[in-house]
Amino acid sequence: MFTKNQKLSASLALLFILILVSGCELYRDFTTYFNTYYNAKTLFERTEEEILKQKKDPFQFREDAQGGKSIFPTSQTQQFSGETRNRNQFSNQQFGSQSSSQFGTGNLSSGNISQDLTKVIEKCSKILQYEKESSFFPDALFMTGKALYYQQEYSKAQRKFMELAGLKNSKYSLINKLWLAKTNLQLREFDEGLRLIEEVKKEAIEKEEDEIFNEASITKISFLIFREQYVQAINECQDFLKNSNDDEMKALVANQMGIIYLKINDDKNALEAFSSVLKYEPTFDVELKARLQLAKLLKKLNRVDESEEELTNMSNQGKFKNNLDEIYNELSDIYFEKGKYERAIDMLKFVDSTYKQLPTSGIACMKLGKLYEKGIQDYDSAHKYYNKAASSLAPRELKLEAGGKVKNFDRYFFLKKELTELNTQFKYLQNLKLFIQDSLDYAIAEKEYLDENKKMLEASSNQNNENAQAQEILRQQQQQQLQIQQQKLLLELNKNKNNEPIPLKVLIALGKAKKPERPTADSTSIKTSIAANLFNQGSLFYSEIEQYDSALVYFNKIMKDYSDKPIVPQTLFAMATYYETTNDTIKADSLYKIIVEKFPKDKLYEPAAIKLGIITKDSKKKEDVSSDPASLPFQKAEELYYQNKYQEAIDSFKVLANKFPKSRFGAKSLYYIGMIYEENFKNYDSAAVAYGILAKNFALEPLAKNAIAKYDEYQKEKERIKNEEEKKKAEELKKKEEEDKKKLEKEKPVENNTIKVEDNKTINDSLKDDLIPRNKKSYLERLKADTDSLKKKFINNEISDTLKSKINPIKKDSSKTKSPIPE
């Protein structure tokens, strides 16, 4: 038997032998693992987990990088289950706080995903650069490729995946091919990407790699949805349901298949797909969405009772207690459709009060607004809830719709208030005693209101009059009491469902009563304003609020009580339009006939006549054309244009423009002239002339607007070219002057101001620089050559005015020699 010390010695010897055998390779792997790989792997796994949590739609093909959002899921448990996702978030926060100091990776929940991915790439690059013989080299290569993919650096990622494929590492053979396929799809190399996807799916089935098969299928479905190839996407979903062994993923894909059927308006198959989700093992989120969609479809397909039963069952199940907002929003629609308004209102108010910080609260307010508007026709409550929806967290489209509703009801309440005031004014005109009585009543009620407030304030002020601070506190308390009193009065007013008389002093307290004013207009003006107000309210109900019967009530009131007012033709036309929408053509035609017979000069005469078939649009057009003597020659000129006889057309149009300068056909002729010159002859100057005349003489014609724009553009361009040419000429002239000046200053200047030569000529100072003679003969030869040169330049206008002024001719009093430069 060996002793303990002998066993220890043998173990150490064996370890020493193993180290000698494995040598540097084992040491390299050991140091690489603890120094670089372990940290990189830990950081990448945690970062990827965070990326997958941020994934909102597992079938989204492209998303913003935003610090590294993933394009496709790798774990259905993390990706598709709301409950699991929440649990993972909680556990990750705990794990992160524990491990941040240990591994130096920081808090990954901070949102710096892109920075973390960059750190992973940097750490892995050290292995790729210095540890090529390490067994961790393929791992580092794969992590680098995925990190680059998450950063949407697809070309770089592709190179890493291809490099890994070249190593022929069996561990990464299949999964690397999948990521290479994804990268090809993102790089729009669709054929190659889809080919690799199919290879991955086939191999994954053979090797029973379920997760890789799932991910490859999701990738292809996502791509087909992105390309809007919905039929192919459905086929891929069906293929997945046949071959996958993962019931959780099957539920996810079945739900997505239902969504695709909805996109192509195949409600029947969509219903079947959502129903099939429950046959598998869906996550909580998938089950919730599928069942809600199922209930919506049942209602859409007029199976309302089944829809109500499905939603009621969901609301009674404890697992959906946190999702009652979505369930009640859908269930309230069914109660609204069935006329069970109170039950619908209770549910929606529950959602509004309980889920204020969620978009579903805004959706509930919008539904409440519609219910009060369309169902109960309580416009005050409708206005209130539309206002809440417009400022809520509801989707943008819903908020915009709510904002439009608020504007409509603002307009309605304004018109309603205006009508009340007009009616009151008319009553006061008819009965002055009524105005006096109302003024007295208002004064008495106002005094009662003020006296009551005064007593209340005095009672509270007598309790404490010690100092200024106490007085300020007292004043604030009094203000609060008044506000509370007003709120109580307003609440009582809203509860007054029996329309019982409300005391005037209460209305004054709430600011809902106005002091009577003596009328300033006559009865005719007031009645005209009332008729216009009624028409505006009717139009609002017809076109915006879409309560057609209410609109008809207002129109009928105008015809009954204000049939002599100017608004009558418009009212008749609006009523006729209403009856047309209800297919009552007999009533509609009778109203159009009244307009034609009684209002021949009104602007609505022609539209009414066209409705009755008395005139047609074509005949009206011919009548307009034939009434102008320029019409026939214009038609002939226009025919020449359409026959591509452009010059003949221009000649004809010019005659028309000159002969009929005030006719609209003259304006059209000028426009044709400009258009032909511009588009057919490319003669922009002539086109600009025609457009300029048109803009000047026919500025109010619709055609002139386009011509004015073109003419202004032409003038600006012309001015620009002119400025550029002038600038260019100025630069060339300046350059020429500088060159001439340099030429004249080449030689050293002579000390004396003048130089005497044999023939007693005097040379100007500007030529002295060139006159430094070594002997008289050479000097005279050079002088003659210079003067001849200057003479040629002067004749050819090559010398600038500045330079000419500097060249003084030789004095005329020399009788022997003439000046070389002619005067």
Lowest-pLDDT choice from 384-388, 390-394, 702-706: 702-706
- Alpha-carbon span 182 to 631, nearest angstrom: 67
Burial 293-327 (b: 16+ CB within 10 A, else e): bbbbbbbeeeeeeebbebbeebbeeeebeebbbbb
Amino acid found at 259: I
Of residues 22, 10, 28, 79, the one with CA closest to residue 49: 79
Give residue 485's Cα distance to chain centre: 46
The CATH number of the structural domain formed by 628-721 is 1.25.40.10
Question: Please, what's the largest Cα pairwise distance for the chain?
Answer: 147
pLDDT, tens digit, for every residue of 123-165?
888 888 877 777 788 888 898 999 999 988 999 999 989 988 8
Does 378 have pLDDT greater than 70? yes
Burial 29-49 (b: 16+ CB within 10 A, else e): beebbeebbebbbbbbebbbb
Residue 819 to residues 332, 642, 762, 812: CA-CA distances in angstroms?
A: 113, 71, 11, 7
3-class DSSP state for residue 235?
helix
Tell me the mean pLDDT in the region 356-375. 93
Q: What pLDDT was estimated at residue 692? A: 84
Query: H/E element holding 755?
Result: none
Sign of CA dihedral 459, 460, 464, 470: negative
- Alpha-carbon span 255 to 62, nearest angstrom: 20
Sign of CA dihedral 723, 724, 725, 727: positive
Q: Whose structure tokens read 């959706």?
A: 363
* Alpha helices for 599-645 (secondary structure H): 605-612, 617-626, 631-642
pLDDT, tens digit, for every residue of 250-284?
999 999 999 999 999 999 999 999 999 999 999 99
Please give the residue that has the higher pLDDT: either 6 or 38.
Answer: 38
Helices and strands counted in the chain (H then E): 37, 0
Give the model's confidence band at 658: pLDDT under 50 very low, under 70 low, under 90 confident, else very high. confident
Give the model's confidence band at 484: pLDDT under 50 very low, under 70 low, under 90 confident, else very high. low
List of residues 6+ apart from 761 with CB closer than 8 A: 810, 811, 814, 817
Lowest-pLDDT choice from 149-153, 493-497, 512-516: 493-497
Share of the chain above pLDDT 70, in %: 71
3-class DSSP state for residue 448?
helix
Q: What pLDDT was estimated at residue 330? A: 92
Residues 583/548, Cβ–Cβ less than 8 Å: no
Q: What are phi and psi of 301, to 5 degrees?
A: -90, 20
Tell me the mean pLDDT in the region 9-18. 49
Tell me the mean pLDDT in the region 98-122. 58
Q: What are phi and psi of 740, to 5 degrees?
A: -65, -40
Of residues 433, 411, 410, the one with CA closest to residue 516: 433
Name the DSSP class of 159.
H
Q: What pLDDT was estimated at residue 312? A: 93
Tell me the mean pLDDT in the region 698-715. 72
Residues 213/201, Cβ–Cβ less than 8 Å: yes
Taking CB atoms within 8 Å and a gap of at least 24, the contacts of 363-367 are 363/329, 363/389, 363/394, 363/395, 363/398, 364/325, 364/328, 364/329, 364/332, 365/389, 365/392, 365/394, 365/402, 366/394, 366/398, 366/401, 366/402, 367/329, 367/332, 367/333, 367/336
Does 479 have pLDDT greater than 50? yes
Q: What pLDDT was estimated at residue 140? A: 86
Amino acid found at 397: E
Residue 333 to residues 274, 307, 396, 553: CA-CA distances in angstroms?
A: 20, 11, 21, 29
Residue 370 to residues 329, 521, 667, 800: CA-CA distances in angstroms?
A: 13, 40, 52, 85
CATH 1.25.40.10 in the chain is located at: 628-721
Q: What pLDDT was estimated at residue 726? A: 84
pLDDT, tens digit, for every residue of 569-600?
999 999 999 998 888 888 988 999 898 888 88
Does 745 have pLDDT greater than 60? yes
User: What tokens were used for 371?
Assistant: 């219910």
Q: What are phi and psi of 756, to 5 degrees?
A: -90, 130
Q: What pLDDT was estimated at residue 58? A: 84
Amino acid found at 440: L
